Amino acid sequence: MNQQTLVESLQQFRHILRTCIARRDLLTGKSLHTLYIKSLIPASTYFSNHFIILYSKCGLLTTARKAFEATSEPNVFTFNAILNAYAKEAQPHLAHQLFDKIPQPDIVSYNTLISAYADLGYTLPALRLFLDLNDMGLAMDGFTLSAAITAANDNLDFITQLHCLSIYTGLNSYASVNNTLITYYSKNGVLDYAQGVFASMVELKDEVSWNSMIVAYGQHREGIKALALYKEMGLKDLYLDMFTLASVLTALTSMEDLCGGLQFHARLIKMGFQENPHVGSGLIDLYSKCSGGISDCKKVFQEIPYPDLVLWNTMISGYSQSELCEEAVACFRQMQLAGHQPDDCSFVCVISACSNLSSPSQGKQIHSLAIKSSIPSNRISVNNALITIATIERGENIVRLVAETIYDSKDNTKLYQLIDPRIGPGSKLEGVDRLSTLAMRCVNESGAERPSMGEAVKEIESILELASLSKYTEEELTSTSYEDTINGGSVLILAISEVRITYDFLRLSDLCIDI
């Protein structure tokens, strides 16, 4: 083979390899790799780098690592290729081990690793690398700053400092930096800052900028502004991604605009987004909150061939909001059978459904599953949701005591005194009749006819307010105060007070569920 023929062959080989990478053509790529190893083509770091990239893009991390180790003379591009492979597979710690072996890491090396940590929420290692980069004398670029803003996450002070740094260094000329600022200002509750960044971009605005701002408006329930921006975006003939469309649905939901939602649903069908799980979640949320019916939600859900975890969670939440609690629990079970691992949102939704269903036992079973699942965030959110189950259990105990008292007495006099011993003979306390009826039904009936314990808890709270218990100090509401008045009354008073405290906590909590 003469020199010219070899050069032409190498050029053709390079072209085919690049095409394989672009198309993720693993079969042809492997054939090329075999040919490369067994042929007379001289060893080339360039080709080795591209084989690493090919296997990385096809999700074959182990094969990519073997290609990396087979490279006789790796350069910084070789290391960057394998770093990117580990970053895509969410393994930044292993990527960091390789990073430490790079003789002279460049800005791409730093950007790759900082982004890998930032995307997984590992703030400290990402920001340490950001500071090390400056110490090394490397000039940051827009990608570096965007990754650092992402790493800052909920640290608003640091985000504003990075914003100032972007202005000082001129990196605010990168659309990516501004887009990231819009996203994280919005996530941290400062919508006016996000609006300011968007307004300052002028000629820099790209499709991501518009989409990010619409998402921000959707997050803050600024429905009118989100819809106005959406219409303006349409006039400019800009591309709408699924996150934008989902945010428009959020805006319509916040405005309780069912008519607008139906029109938008029709447009989604024309655009071919009706089978997208992310958009489907927005539609289910819209129909469950605005129309009050679950049938439309089920239709949307059934039209999506491969529902993701978010969609399952939204459907479970929709059932729970519509007080179809048995269906919510059944949906949770179906989600598991479909191969999805529940996250903290899944557990909060289904435990809420169990509280509405007055089923503490099912709630505890699911809570045990939540603990075994080792989800980092479920310790707070799921435990808070479980407070509702505890409230219902206390409600059950109170209802049983009420029912026993009714059995022992022909009228409600003794029941009045159980609720508040200060009530004198012959008094009439509004709400007690309803509570006694509810209590008897809770004890005697079963199935769909049986009232929920939540109803009894609400009735107890109402009676407490009518009895003006709040006028008395906390010390007066201890079991000692009533111990000599009525035998057993102290137990009930303490239990009712406990329910009231728990119910008030739920009402103030972000996870408050209407039980």
pLDDT in tens, 413-426: 555 544 444 445 55
Q: For residue 234, what are its two tokens?
A: 């349409």
C-alpha atoms less than 13 angstroms from C-alpha of 145 in its C-beta half-sphere: 27
Region 449-454 average pLDDT: 59
pLDDT at residue 481 in the model: 32
pLDDT at residue 486 in the model: 33
Specify the higher pLDDT residue, 346 or 179. 179
Would the pLDDT of 482 be above 50?
no
Region 494-515 average pLDDT: 34
Least reliable range by pLDDT among 98-112, 188-202, 398-412, 430-444: 398-412
The enclosing H or E element of 141 equals none
Would the pLDDT of 483 be above 70?
no
Would the pLDDT of 170 be above 90?
yes
- Cα distances (Å, whole numbers) of residue 9 to 29, 40, 53: 16, 11, 21
pLDDT, averaged across the chain? 76
pLDDT at residue 75 in the model: 95
Would the pLDDT of 373 be above 90?
no
pLDDT at residue 472 in the model: 36
> Taken in order 506, 508, 510, 512, is the CA torsion positive or negative?
positive
pLDDT at residue 218 in the model: 84
- Sequence-separated (6 or more) residues with CB below 8 Å from residue 245: 268, 271, 273, 276, 279, 282
Q: Euclidean distance between the first and final Cα of the chain, in Å?
A: 82
Residue 386 and residue 367 in contact, taking contact as beta carbons nearer than 8 Å: yes
Residue 191 and residue 213 in contact, taking contact as beta carbons nearer than 8 Å: no
Please tell me the distance from the alpha carbon of residue 139 to that of residue 419, in angstroms, as a whole number: 72
Per DSSP, the chain holds a count of helices (H) and strands (E) of 28, 0
Site of tokens 């040919």: 35
3-state helix, strand, coil in the chain (%, to 5): 75, 0, 25
Please tell me the distance from the alpha carbon of residue 467 to that of residue 104, in angstroms, as a whole number: 77
Region 243-263 average pLDDT: 83
Site of tokens 């945010």: 247
Please tell me the distance from the alpha carbon of residue 450 to that of residue 470, in angstroms, as a whole number: 31
- Cα distances (Å, whole numbers) of residue 56 to 47, 48, 64, 71, 85: 14, 12, 6, 15, 5
Phi-psi region of 383 (alpha: psi -120 to 50; beta: other; left: phi over 0): alpha
Would the pLDDT of 436 be above 80?
no
Listed residue (178, 179, 128) closest to 152, CA to CA: 128
Residue 317 and residue 288 in contact, taking contact as beta carbons nearer than 8 Å: yes
Region 233-249 average pLDDT: 84
- Strands (DSSP E) along 32-72, which ranges? none
Region 365-394 average pLDDT: 51
User: 491: pLDDT confidence band, cut at 50, 70 and 90?
Assistant: very low
User: 351: pLDDT confidence band, cut at 50, 70 and 90?
Assistant: confident
Least reliable range by pLDDT among 58-72, 337-351, 477-491: 477-491
User: 477: pLDDT confidence band, cut at 50, 70 and 90?
Assistant: very low
Residue 204 and residue 185 in contact, taking contact as beta carbons nearer than 8 Å: no
Q: What is the pLDDT of residues 381-402, one digit of tens each?
A: 444 444 444 444 444 555 555 5
Region 149-172 average pLDDT: 94
SS3 state at 83: helix
pLDDT at residue 202 in the model: 86
Least reliable range by pLDDT among 39-48, 296-305, 308-317, 466-475: 466-475
What's CA 384's distance to the chain center, in Å? Answer: 16
Least reliable range by pLDDT among 189-203, 355-369, 410-424: 410-424
pLDDT at residue 345 in the model: 78
Would the pLDDT of 379 be above 50?
no
pLDDT at residue 250 in the model: 82
Please tell me the distance from the alpha carbon of residue 504 to that of residue 102, in angstroms, as a whole number: 58
Please tell me the distance from the alpha carbon of residue 416 to that of residue 112, in angstroms, as a whole number: 70
Q: What is the pLDDT of residues 296-349, one digit of tens each?
A: 889 899 989 889 998 999 998 888 877 787 888 899 889 999 999 888 778 777
Listed residue (197, 225, 227, 222) closest to 209, CA to CA: 197
Q: In the chain, pLDDT over 90 holds for what percent of residues?
A: 36
Q: For residue 349, what are its two tokens?
A: 């939704």
Please tell me the distance from the alpha carbon of residue 284 to that of residue 298, in angstroms, as a whole number: 8
Please tell me the distance from the alpha carbon of residue 143 to that of residue 149, in angstroms, as a whole number: 10
Q: For residue 193, what are its two tokens?
A: 């800052």
Would the pLDDT of 378 be above 50?
no
- Cα distances (Å, whole numbers) of residue 47 to 5, 288, 394: 18, 54, 69
The enclosing H or E element of 425 equals none
- Angle between the N-to-C axes of helices 45-57 and 76-88, in degrees from 0 to 180, rounded to the nearest 10: 10
SS3 state at 322: coil
Residue 265 and residue 283 in contact, taking contact as beta carbons nearer than 8 Å: yes
What's CA 180's distance to the chain center, in Å? Answer: 19
Least reliable range by pLDDT among 30-39, 82-91, 278-287, 403-412: 403-412
pLDDT at residue 440 in the model: 59
User: 79: pLDDT confidence band, cut at 50, 70 and 90?
Assistant: very high
Least reliable range by pLDDT among 35-39, 289-293, 476-480: 476-480
Please tell me the distance from the alpha carbon of residue 154 to that of residue 265, in angstroms, as a whole number: 34
User: 95: pLDDT confidence band, cut at 50, 70 and 90?
Assistant: very high
Specify the higher pLDDT residue, 303 or 513. 303
Would the pLDDT of 24 be above 50?
yes
Residue 436 and residue 406 in contact, taking contact as beta carbons nearer than 8 Å: yes
Please tell me the distance from the alpha carbon of residue 470 to that of residue 232, in angstroms, as a whole number: 54
pLDDT at residue 459 in the model: 61
pLDDT at residue 479 in the model: 31
User: 29: pLDDT confidence band, cut at 50, 70 and 90?
Assistant: very high
Q: For residue 55, what are its two tokens?
A: 């296997």
